[in-house]
Structure 1
Amino acid sequence: MGSRFDITIVAQDSATAELRINEAIAEITRIENLISEWRPDTQVSKINQNASIQPVKVDREVFNLTQRALIISEITNGAFDISFATMDKIWRFDSTMTKMPTPEEVKRSVAKVGYKNIVLDSMQSTIFLKLPGMKIGFGSIGKGYAADKARQLMEKRGVPAGIINASGDMATWGKQPNGTNWNIGITNPFDTNKYIAIVPLGRDAVTTSGNYEKFVVLNGKHYSHIINPVTGYPATGLTSVTVFGPSAEMANGFSTSLMVLGKKAGLKLINKHPDYSCILITDKGKVIKSKNLKFKLAKQVQ
């Protein structure tokens, strides 16, 4: 999935641990072979290849994942959108970008982005993209989904505890051998060698979206790699969003959406979903938490 996965489990011996970890790797690989948009023979690639031509029959797993993605799009008013994969890559978050794209370029970049042009047929288990050149991609929730599925498999195999870490999208379960919870550090985006909090987790998930690793500075202004799929411009106002909840897939969808929505709308959204909570860090270094977050944080991190 273009990302590093770290798998930590509790087992009675190294042979059992190796067997179970290999099973988790196989499950993650299976999911990549279903939803990768970069491999030409996956079901998602076939959907993209047939945009505006015909519906594509897919496994129920792919159909259901797409259906859940569209639900997130609905509740976020398009701040989350798997058809972002269509977006022309006019923003380059490296040293090669030296000037702002024109308003016309930005408008063209999002012309074919729009989750309402994704048509699902539940009876036939098909997915159809209405517009020619339209694409979908699961880069935003695919890692979280894979982490959830690997955790589910490990639990089914009787593994008592562990962490599936998909490049920061984590699914945890059980306790450490000494009986304590897993402790997860939440990075300070202004000093990545420090944490703003150490959070104890049981059977939980945590994901973070941030603008402090991939960005570009133009005319003295900081632009992050997280693009608003409606406007085509990078999200501004928040430096980092960390979401906690039962599912890494859903937490991932929320963390991306909250970066786009910003502080006020983001908090309003997350507070409607009591199973989830969040930590927001503004561009000014102010730390804000949702009303149902259960641990204390510093008020300022810069």
Structure 2
Amino acid sequence: MSKRRCFGILLGSILFLVCSFSCFAQVLVKRQMMQMGSLFDISVVAKDSVQARMEIDQAVAEMERIENLISEWRPQTQVSEVNRNAGIRPVKVDREVFELTKRAISYSEMSGGAFDISIVAMDKIWLYDGSMTQMPDSLAVRKSVEKVGFEHIVLDSVNSTIYLSRHGMKIGFGSIGKGYAADRGRAILRANGVKGGIVNASGDLSAWGEQVNRKPWNIGITNPFKTRKLVKVLKIRNASVATSGSYEKYAEIDGKRYSHIINPRTGYPSTGLTSVTIIGPGAEFANALSTSIMVLGAEEGLKLIRRFPEYRYVFLTDTGRIIRSAKL
């Protein structure tokens, strides 16, 4: 039986999929698309490629539906409506948006405020397009922090409304929205009978089942300090992986790099960790943990992740030290 091997870049320079397959009856069907401003990648194992493409269509439609609910960039979404009415009035939203916001607030509480969906109010302070050549004014940073605070997101469960109690506040789901989309995509495909695949939402992925060759999915974690060297290859079947990192998107000022991951409490970029990878049942929660830990740092981050034994971790510090779970 002839064999083929493939090496497909899946997750940019943070994570990638390593796969090999033989001429089994099943095939691997893949599709890439732009969603939520990022590259998404869906791979499914199926016996019929035509049917597989139809199943992928449904997963893509689900992700588009989610973006039309929670994007803060599309003016017609419910989240945009919430932001426009900050300090003015509560906005009625679908129960799905309400529950996602409620979970986001719970992530803020569990992390002591290291995670906060209202951080997007600071989106004009730090720029990561190469145009930023000097530190922002400290007064401007302090003023922007005044608009940040999950405590000022008021939820009314009876009426399903969200109210941002301060003028200028905004919420956004860039930190967990892609993980949520990956989890929903996996749920749709599994419900439709797809036995194996990966939904990769630009680095936040949810996998299930096995490769065509009946082996687990191999997810490599790269090391930015050592080109072409992997920190770890994860072998997963039914699991999600999310990575937050500071080395792909940053501002460089006077020779120093400043991460795009901001500490909501100070308004300044997080330091100490270069990347955090979390492995566990769900991509949404894994990404909430990875973002929180990037802000908390290694010591406090370990205290947090150890509260959730079903999740594993790989930390890479700014000095290149690797901190990982005893069992991966």
- Same fold by TM-score greater than 0.5: yes
Larger displacement relative to structure 2 (182-191 or 243-252) = 182-191
> Percent identity among equivalent residues?
59
**Counterpart of 1:102 in structure 2: which amino acid?**
D
Cα distance in 2 between the residues matched to 1:87 and 1:198: 36
- 2:134 pairs with 1:99: yes
- 2:229 pairs with 1:194: yes
Aligned pairs for 1:58-207 within 5 A: 58-191=93-226, 193-207=228-242
1:192 offset after TM fit, Å?
Answer: 5.2
Preserved CA contact (<8 Å) 1:79 1:260: yes
SS of 1:150's equivalent in the other structure is helix
**Counterpart of 2:295 in structure 1: which amino acid?**
V
Cα distance in 1 between the residues matched to 2:257 and 2:167: 33
- 2:320 pairs with 1:263: no
What is the match of residue 273 of structure 2?
A: 238
TM-score by length of 2: 0.87
Larger displacement relative to structure 2 (98-107 or 130-139) = 98-107
Residue among 226, 229, 242 paired with 2:264: 229
- 2:86 pairs with 1:38: no
* Number of aligned positions between the proteins: 293
1:88 offset after TM fit, Å?
Answer: 4.4
What is the match of residue 27 of structure 1?
A: 62
- 2:52 pairs with 1:9: no
Cα distance in 2 between the residues matched to 1:80 and 1:278: 17
What is the match of residue 276 of structure 1?
A: 311
Preserved CA contact (<8 Å) 1:241 1:279: yes
Going by fraction, where is strand more abundant, 1 or 2? 2
SS of 2:135's equivalent in the other structure is coil
Larger displacement relative to structure 2 (31-40 or 83-92) = 83-92
Residue among 43, 48, 54 paired with 2:89: 54
* Alpha-carbon RMSD: 1.2
Cα distance in 2 between the residues matched to 1:242 and 1:218: 27
Relative distance call for 1:125 and 1:145 in structure 2 (3 A) is same
SS of 2:102's equivalent in the other structure is helix
SS of 1:4's equivalent in the other structure is strand
**Counterpart of 1:288 in structure 2: which amino acid?**
I
Cα distance in 1 between the residues matched to 2:254 and 2:225: 21
In the alignment, structure 2 segments of 5+ residues that lack a partner are 1-35
SS of 1:279's equivalent in the other structure is strand
- 2:315 pairs with 1:294: no
TM-score by length of 1: 0.94
Preserved CA contact (<8 Å) 1:88 1:109: no
